Amino acid sequence: MSVATKLGSPVCEPRSILAPSGNRVKVSEHLKRKNEGLKKPQKPTKPVSHQMPESVVRNNVSVDSSCSSDSSSSGYVAKTVSMKRTVRRNGLRPVKVVPDGAEVATVSPKVSGPPKRCDWITPNSDPLYTSFHDEEWGVPVYDDRKLFELLVFSQALAELSWPAILNKRDIFRKLFDNFDPSSVAQFTEKKLLSLKVNGVLLLSESKLRAIIENAKQMLKVQQEFGSFSNYCWSFVNHKPLRNGYRYARKVPVKSPKAEVISKDLMQRGFRCVGPTVIYSFMQVAGIVNDHLVACFRYQDCNLNDKKVSKPKFEEKTEVLTEAVEKTSLSKA
């Protein structure tokens, strides 16, 4: 038992630990406490739960009455509310709020590149040649003047390239009277020698003579078949041929069908119409579709396919043939 107890003196309350300077309170600590007492209490920030319906908070979280007045506990309640259980009002979905300063990942739209073309068309190709590939090459042609023009261009490929021919296309049309076979067939020797560009013949003299001769023979074909178009398309049953090559190296320079047409034309008096020339003519006139399968024009040209109506004289011939056959059978 302590001495104080023995003497019956009252028990003193425990004192705080003394500072090195004695029982006096430090001035800095006194001022600090005084300042803290003068500061106004800050209002607690509103918890996130104020954005949610009150019914959601009550249904999903049981709040203890003892801690309902505590701002920290209310903040905790707001954080524990699951977004998946929020009730959607008016059918609206909850929107994800991105805090200020946060980086938002944006998805850049897909930029479509240039369409896939045949391998012989490159980014460095002449724009005129590219347009010719995209709009004309391989499209079925049924007009006689247009076919005559393409036949002349196919013959000119022995001396000029496609880009060079296309750049002189207007000159070709002017000198050959817009490729009217009846007009070209009447060209004289003087007219032939005047087919010049800057003092130079448009093509070699032998090629020019062949073009004039072919115009004369085309008039005969028109009389026999009704049109040069009917004659050309009859070799493929009036339907374009589709090869469907995947690689440019697979595309031939001639074909058995081109050899058949070439032979028939030569027998009719056409000149400079070898199998290679005729196959180029078949390609550009759409008689054969030699666009590569990966080229966007392959399917486009297939959509342009159409049957050529039979000329009237062919229909009359078929009717007469059937009548003769029936007569012969009845007599037998």
Query: What gap in Å lies between CA 166 and CA 157, rounded to an integer?
Result: 11
Question: Is residue 133 part of an annotated ligand binding site?
Answer: yes
Contact between residue 285 and residue 232 where contact means Cβ atoms under 8 Å apart: yes
Residue-by-residue DSSP string for 253-322:
S--HHHHHHHHHHHHTT--S--HHHHHHHHHHTTSEE-S-TTSHHHHHHHHT--PPPPPHHHHHHHHHHH
Rounded to 5 degrees, φ, ψ at 200 are -120, 140
Query: What gap in Å lies between CA 238 and CA 24, rounded to an integer?
Result: 119
Contact between residue 139 and residue 224 where contact means Cβ atoms under 8 Å apart: no
Cα 330–chain centre separation? 63
Contact between residue 163 and residue 128 where contact means Cβ atoms under 8 Å apart: yes
What lies within 8 Å, CB to CB, of 299 at 6+ separation is: none
Query: What gap in Å lies between CA 47 and CA 61, rounded to an integer?
Result: 15
Rounded to 5 degrees, φ, ψ at 312 are -60, -40
Distances (CA, A) of 286 to 127, 250, 281: 21, 18, 8
Strand partners, 196: 201
Which residue's entry shows tokens 């029936």?
326
Question: Is residue 12 part of an annotated ligand binding site?
Answer: no
Question: Is residue 238 part of an annotated ligand binding site?
Answer: no
Buried b (16+ CB within 10 A) or exposed e, 99-136: eeeeeeeeeeeeeeeeeebbeebeeebeeebbebbeeb
Positions at the binding site for Zn(2+):
118, 133, 291, 295
Q: Residues forming the annotated binding site?
A: 118, 133, 291, 295
